[in-house]
Amino acid sequence: MKICMLTWEFPPRIVGGIGRHCFGLAKTLAKEGHDVHVVTLDFPGALAYEEIHGAKIYRTSIDLGNPDFITWTFLFNHFMEKKVATLGRKTEFDIIHIHDWLTAPVGIASKHYLKRPLVSTIHSTEIGRARGLHNPDSYLINGLEWWATYESERVIVTSNSMKYELESQFRLPGEKIDVIPNAIDGEKYNEEVNHDIVKNRYGIAPHERIVLFIGRLVPQKGVEYLIRAMPQIVGQHRNVKFVFTGDGWTRDHLVRLAASNGCWDKVRFVGFVSDSELIDLTLCADVLVIPSIYEPFGIVALEGMAAGVPVVASNVGGLAEVVEHDRTGVLVYPENPGSIAWGVNKVLSDYGYSRWLIQNAKRKIEELYGWEAVAKRTAEVYKKSCERW
């Protein structure tokens, strides 16, 4: 099939999980023999066009900027739309695939002028991320999400909890939705890492144990509840360091909170790190904590499981589907520092239990979350969408 995939985020532009998802899906679809064209945004130092593992990547130049994110989104959709129109003169696409609301306008427009079916993957919703609609921008984003699902022939979500969310919020018929989980390339964690060298980069002693957080520093990720749990963890395990990767608009607040609870010497806010460094940190971690209060899937949990790190995660959304409590990880109550501390202490206190979780988790990753299976199921959705056109 000739596939036109539209995403605002694609390596080297990594903001959340969409970029990595699109990269994995595009290269695997290309490997399976499909003609994959990814239209995304330009990025400093990145090529305007390149082929990656057989997938054709077009990075669109955005000639107008704007400090307002919503305005900028509509601007880059305009330039992406021009790029798709140009490509459409040479390639007769079979399907258009968009990811989240940020490429909804270009995807919907392309559907109508190319006269090809549209498939959308909804990775999360505004109501879930923001815990409601609180301002005009939120209402607009919510409307764009609904519009994308309305215009799409099929809608893909990554978990049953997201399927229910779309059914209840957008009154979307369940038979229009396909649940296809995220996937990861577990092989990237099959490497040897010198723990002492990695720890030294962050001022962590060889004997100290790492409690790791990976993600954006935004309210939905629940970082403040892990910070509030730190005194209870340190009370049982003095030889720990808490490493927070990623960045976000709540960083200053979280730094102040961490500095006020008596554990500042145990904390490292390291900001955005490269993929290779993130792999090193994950492989060196003693426990990966995912304290989200909203998580449609939770690909970070899969990455921790593939890396052989015990996972402690909130019992919410897609996380509760990925992590099987007391078998492949530990589920804790969301927004509950005491419960988070209990989960972390349980893992750190029992080496045998931790190893058992790791073995079960790795087995589950191999069986359910490979890119080949996900790409095959996505291609089936494409074919199903084309049947009515």
- Sorted by where each begins, the domain ranges of the chain are 2-183+370-386, 186-368
CB hemisphere CA count around 234 (13 angstroms): 16
Which tens digit of pLDDT belongs to each residue from 58-78? 999 988 888 899 999 999 999
Of 53-57, 228-232, 317-321, 341-345, give the lowest mean pLDDT range: 317-321
The answer to whether 2-183+370-386 and 186-368 have equal CATH topology is yes
Total-model pTM: 0.76
**What is the average per-residue pLDDT within 294-305?**
84
CATH of 186-368, one of 3.20.20.140, 3.40.50.1100, 3.90.550.10, 3.40.50.2000: 3.40.50.2000
Task: Write down the pLDDT at residue 202.
Answer: 92
> Per this entry, what is the length of the chain?
389
Question: Which secondary-structure segment (H or E) carries 360?
Answer: helix 351-368
Mean pLDDT for the chain overall: 92
CA separation for the pair 68, 51 (Å, rounded): 32
pLDDT digits (tens, 9 = 90+) for 355-387: 999 999 988 887 778 888 899 999 999 999 998
Position 294 confidence tier, pLDDT thresholds 50, 70, 90: confident
What's the CATH code, domain 2-183+370-386?
A: 3.40.50.2000
Residue with tokens 């961490």: 258
Phi and psi of 325, rounded to 5°? -60, 135
pLDDT single digits (tens) 145-191: 999 999 999 999 988 888 999 999 999 999 999 999 888 877 788 88
Tell me the per-residue pLDDT of 87-119, one tens digit each, with 9 for 90 and over: 999 999 999 999 999 999 999 999 999 999 999
